[in-house]
């Protein structure tokens, strides 16, 4: 079915919503690589069975990529790889159906061409190249996917197109720093200084020097930094997390504990599944699905790069060290508690919150895409074995904010600054990349 052209009122409301939801940077960036003033990309989208098969391929390969990238990786670096795979899928769909602007220069298209074959090939080639340890798994899924597509010129052309899309994207991302071995260097311990929480190297040190997908430097969106150790704001935040976040807290409610555990699941898995469900529930077509997933996963990937740049720049200590050593922070309003332990632990610097960066980016992109924050979303947690529904994206951001504080992981200031970083990154991506522009 050909997508209906949005009404003038709907376009106006979307523009207002984007302005309110996102903190779009006032400073100008160099033009996006594929976002110059050009005619709309591609022909009208597919219809009927071809459109359904294409949409299903986009969803299938999003799930395959998600499963592959999280194997043996923490969420931050997993999301960078998932973002890359999703951009390849997006560009394959755009080459055939238009709808939004591609990330990389589009290759020529021979028609007829199978969207399912193009999507599968683009995702497969990127995953095999960037996640070589999972190549056997990806190959097996790819072979099964292709076997279900009827042989013929459309399949051959789709495979050829997907391969060229992947080739161009991988060339643009060559030397992006993701595969570099970056050692962790512990600074001299002291008040405010992060130290490993576990007897292993802190995670995702390398993300601080990975080249983002949509801006040049990981430090582009670096926030102002943690609160001053000797100030009232720090003392207030420390007292809050000390009371609510300790493992045996008597003031944290059972519902708060359940919420903390719910959001301790892998955020990449939780959001990827929710976005797939959203695309199905909203009956998005192939190009709309590819567009939404590329926006969300690319923005979240860059938010994680920016977030971990800030983490390893500021190297701020977590409550698990700050509270027992409060006598050394120079703040007369803080009291040490040598027996304090957190409800949950993670092994990377505290400021800013990674979950705030990730969740707020996803929430902001969803609000931007649909032109409203009132988007119903449902999440599952493998940790609690439960599911939760939300009427607005703002509810999710607020719940995650409180969850990480009562987990004993973060100070409130770090949550708020992580949310601000996320809104800035999301605003940058949605205003400059993957913009709508295809014929409808």
Sign of CA dihedral 362, 363, 366, 367: negative
Sign of the alpha-carbon dihedral angle for 406, 264, 276, 434: positive
Report CA-CA distances (Å) from 293 to 58, 91, 277, 288, 345: 9, 12, 11, 9, 30
Contacts of 182 (CB under 8 A, 6+ apart): 205, 206, 208, 209
CB atoms within 10 A of CB 277: 15
Contact between 184 and 119 (Cβ < 8 Å): no
What residues form DSSP beta bridges with 193?
316
Residue 42 contacts residue 58 (beta carbons within 8 Å) = no
How would you classify residue 114: left for phi > 0, otherwise alpha for psi between -120 and 50, otherwise beta? beta
* CATH of range 215-432; options 1.10.10.10, 1.20.140.10, 1.10.260.40, 1.10.606.20: 1.10.606.20
Q: Provide the residue-wise pLDDT of the chain in tens; the chain has 440 residues.
A: 333 334 444 443 444 444 444 433 333 333 333 332 233 344 445 555 666 789 999 999 999 999 999 999 999 999 999 999 999 999 999 999 999 999 999 999 999 999 999 999 999 999 999 999 999 999 999 999 999 999 999 999 999 999 999 999 999 999 999 999 999 999 999 999 999 998 999 999 999 999 999 999 999 999 999 999 999 999 999 999 999 999 999 999 999 999 999 999 999 999 999 999 999 999 999 999 999 999 999 999 999 999 999 999 999 999 999 999 999 999 999 999 999 999 999 999 999 999 999 999 999 999 999 999 999 999 999 999 999 999 999 999 999 999 999 999 999 999 999 999 999 999 999 999 999 984 32
DSSP summary character for residue 379: E
Shortest CA distance to 164 belongs to which of 96, 78, 217?
96
| 116/341 Cα distance (integer angstroms) | 50
Query: Could you tell me the CA-to-CA distances from 173 to 62, 107, 178, 269, 364 in Å, in that order?
Result: 20, 17, 9, 24, 25
Q: Global pTM?
A: 0.90
Q: What is the CA radius of gyration of the chain?
A: 22
The pair of three-digit structure tokens given for residue 216, joined into one six-digit string: 């040049």
Helix, strand or coil, per DSSP, at residue 386: strand
Q: Are 244 and 252 in contact (CB under 8 A)?
A: yes
H or E segment to which residue 278 belongs: helix 267-281
- At 348, give phi and psi (nearest 5°): -160, 165
């Amino acid at each position: 079915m050909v997508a209906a052209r949005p009404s003038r009122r709907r376009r106006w409301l979307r523009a207002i919503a984007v302005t309110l939801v996102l903190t779009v940077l006032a400073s100008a960036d160099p033009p996006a690589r594929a976002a110059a003033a050009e005619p709309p990309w591609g022909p009208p989208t597919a219809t009927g069975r071809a459109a359904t098969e294409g949409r299903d391929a986009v969803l299938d390969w999003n799930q395959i990529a998600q499963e592959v990238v999280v194997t043996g990786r923490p969420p931050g670096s997993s999301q960078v790889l998932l973002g890359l795979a999703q951009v390849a899928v997006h560009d394959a769909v755009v080459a055939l159906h238009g709808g939004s602007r591609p990330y990389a220069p589009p290759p020529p298209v021979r028609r007829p061409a199978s969207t399912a074959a193009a999507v599968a090939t683009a995702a497969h080639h990127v995953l095999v190249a960037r996640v070589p340890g999972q190549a056997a798994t990806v190959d097996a899924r790819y072979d099964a996917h292709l076997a279900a597509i009827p042989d013929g010129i459309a399949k051959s052309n789709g495979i050829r197109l997907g391969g060229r899309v992947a080739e161009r994207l991988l060339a643009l991302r060559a030397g992006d720093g993701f595969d570099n071995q970056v050692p962790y260097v512990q600074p001299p311990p002291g008040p405010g200084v992060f130290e490993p929480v576990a007897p292993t190297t802190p995670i995702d040190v390398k993300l601080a020097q990975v080249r983002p997908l949509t801006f040049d430097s990981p430090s582009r969106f670096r926030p102002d930094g943690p609160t001053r150790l000797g100030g009232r704001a720090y003392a207030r935040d420390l007292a809050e997390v000390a009371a609510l976040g300790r493992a045996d807290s008597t003031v944290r409610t059972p519902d708060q504990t359940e919420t903390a555990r719910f959001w301790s699941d892998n955020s990449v898995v939780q959001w990827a599944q929710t976005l797939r469900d959203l695309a199905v529930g909203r009956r998005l077509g192939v190009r709309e699905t590819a567009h939404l997933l590329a926006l969300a996963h690319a923005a979240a990937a860059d938010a994680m790069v920016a977030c971990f740049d800030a983490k390893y720049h500021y190297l701020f200590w977590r409550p698990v060290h700050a509270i027992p050593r409060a006598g050394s922070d120079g703040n007369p309003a803080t009291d040490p508690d040598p027996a304090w332990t957190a409800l949950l632990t993670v092994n990377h610097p505290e400021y800013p919150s990674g979950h705030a960066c990730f969740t707020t980016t996803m929430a902001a992109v969803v609000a931007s895409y649909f032109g409203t924050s009132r988007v119903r979303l449902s999440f599952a947690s493998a940790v609690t074995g439960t599911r939760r529904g939300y009427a607005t994206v703002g509810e999710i951001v607020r719940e995650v904010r409180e969850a990480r504080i009562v987990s004993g992981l973060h100070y409130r200031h770090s949550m708020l600054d992580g949310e601000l970083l996320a809104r800035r990154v999301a605003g940058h991506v949605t205003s400059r990349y993957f913009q709508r522009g295809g014929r409808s």
